[in-house]
Structure 1
Amino acid sequence: MSNCVICGERPSAKQKINCKCCSKAFHANCINVKDGHIPSYNSGEYIWLCDNCNSKVISNKNQQSPVADSVTMSEIRDTLRALLDKQNHFIEKLEKHSTEIEQLKSKDIEHGAGIRENRENIEKLELQMKSVLEENNSLRQKCNKIQQSSMNNCLVVTGVPLPKNENVFLTTQLKGSALGMRLTDSHVVNSYRFLGAGRKNSNLIICFTKQSYRDEFLKCRKIKRDFSTKDLDKSLSNLVSEPNVIYVNEYLTAYNKNLFLKAKEYKNDNNIKYLWIKNGSIYMRKLEGTRAVLITSENDFQNIQ
Structure 2
Amino acid sequence: MNEMMEEIQIIKKRQQFLSEKYDCILKKVTTNEEEIKKVKTEHATLKKDIEGMKKLLNESKNEPNALEQYGRRDCLEFKGINYNKEESTDEIIIAVSKQVGVKVTKADISVSHRIGVVKNDHRKDPPTIIAKFTTRKVRDEIYSNRGKLRQVRQANKSKIFINESLTKMNRKLFNCCLHHKKSANLQYIWTKNGTILLKKDDESATIAIRNIDDMRLHNIPWNDVEASRIVDK
TM-score by length of 1: 0.48
Aligned residue pairs, count? 162
Alignment of 1:1-305 (within 5 A): 135=57, 138-196=59-117, 198=119, 200=123, 201-230=126-155, 242-304=156-218
Question: Which residue is equivalent to 1:64?
Answer: none
Cα drift, residue 202 of structure 1 = 1.2
Cα drift, residue 190 of structure 1 = 1.1
Measure the CA separation in 2 of the matches of 1:265 and 1:145.
23
Cα drift, residue 302 of structure 1 = 4.0
Query: Is the CA contact 1:285–1:304 (under 8 Å) kept in the aligned structure 2?
Result: no
Quote the sequence identity (%).
24
1:26-66: CA deviation from partner (whole Å, max 9, x where unpaired): xxxxxxxxxxxxxxxxxxxxxxxxxxxxxxxxxxxxxxxxx
Give the secondary structure class of the aligned counterpart of 1:229: coil
Higher relative contact order (CA 8 A, sep 6+): 2
Measure the CA separation in 1 of the matches of 2:69 and 2:184.
28
TM-score by length of 2: 0.61
Give the secondary structure class of the aligned counterpart of 1:205: strand
Go from structure 1 to structure 2 and tell me whether the alpha carbon gap of 1:148 and 1:198 turns closer, same or farther (over 3 Å shift). same
Give the secondary structure class of the aligned counterpart of 2:59: helix
Structure 2: state its 5+ residue gaps: 1-52, 220-233
What amino acid does structure 2 have at the position aligned with 1:142?
Answer: E
RMSD: 2.5
- From the CA coordinates, give the structure whose radius of gyration is larger: 1
Structure 1: state its 5+ residue gaps: 1-130, 231-241
Query: Is the CA contact 2:99–2:149 (under 8 Å) kept in the aligned structure 1?
Result: no
Query: Is the CA contact 1:159–1:229 (under 8 Å) kept in the aligned structure 2?
Result: no
Measure the CA separation in 2 of the matches of 1:268 and 1:161.
31
Measure the CA separation in 2 of the matches of 1:274 and 1:182.
29
